[in-house]
Structure 1
Amino acid sequence: MKQYRDQGAVGALLDEYEKTLTEVISVLSDISNQKLIAIVDDKTKDPDCRSIQTILTHVIRAGYCYGIEIRKSLGEQIDYVERKTLNSVKEYQTGLQEMFIYNEQLFIDYPNLNLEEKDPDKKIVVAWGQRYNIEQLLEHAIVHVLRHRRQIERFLIKLSA
């Protein structure tokens, strides 16, 4: 039986984030390393969207960045993680799990974190210029993974054709 976290909204966000990443990990389970690195979209101007490998590299780095943005807003002096291209599906599956654990640790380190902030001037201004409160940023993180899971599934259809 599925176990749910008992942390109210935080628990719900972490459960859904973990579920989303588990779906991606499952989609990856049948992908060969050849399909991982195959260039599927050679016309895109976005280097993060050329292959399943580039998508996953982007998803993992972005996942760390969300947690780092929150930590920075709390006053931590912390650097962004470097983009790291991995060489196998298994490494990406592990990387996704490690990225989730990193984000989960945020709520262990800050158990009384306020998710909501209505004052726009107190919201987190992320690297791409958008303003979010913590809840909105985590919701964005979840949907970000979902969008790229869909993209990977579409790439797999093209690779099977």
Structure 2
Amino acid sequence: MIRRRGFTLIEAVVALAIMGVVMTTLFQGQRNLVRRTQVDLPTVEWYLMLHELENPDHHFVVAHISDEGGLTPGKAVHLVNTVTGKQYLLTYYHILHRIALHHYGGGEIQLIRGVRQFHVDDDLTLTMTTDKGIHFQAQLLLPDRRGAMDEEATRNDSDLGD
């Protein structure tokens, strides 16, 4: 009797089954990884935007909330750097679906893309909804100088009248 070298049918089927389980696990892991990065990206961008705005190195204070960049009030926040006196505008471009920080002297930094809605309340609560329907809300932790600027203007007017 001649002995042949090779695998039996049972060994080949078991090896293919093990390979199939490993490939399915790898494919599912890759799909989960891709899905997780797509969901988490707006969250990361949201927190990066808040970090950039609230960074103490920028010395930002809130000067005014207006409707620039949008059709309804609360679409833009006027910021002032207290050290340099430079003025910036955090605005929502509803046609372009993005939020950007615009410098009045020229230049712009795009902070978030894919924004469907954006609103700023009087208490500096930022509310945003992405194109994918993810909703974010946070209070902007910046000094609010809206009242202080009005008081200074009133004080200066009364000084002139005396």
TM-score, normalised with respect to structure 2:
0.26
More strand by share: 2
Bigger Rg over Cα:
2
Ranked by relative contact order (alpha carbons within 8 Å, sequence separation 6 or more), the top structure is 1
More helix by share: 1
TM-score, normalised with respect to structure 1:
0.27
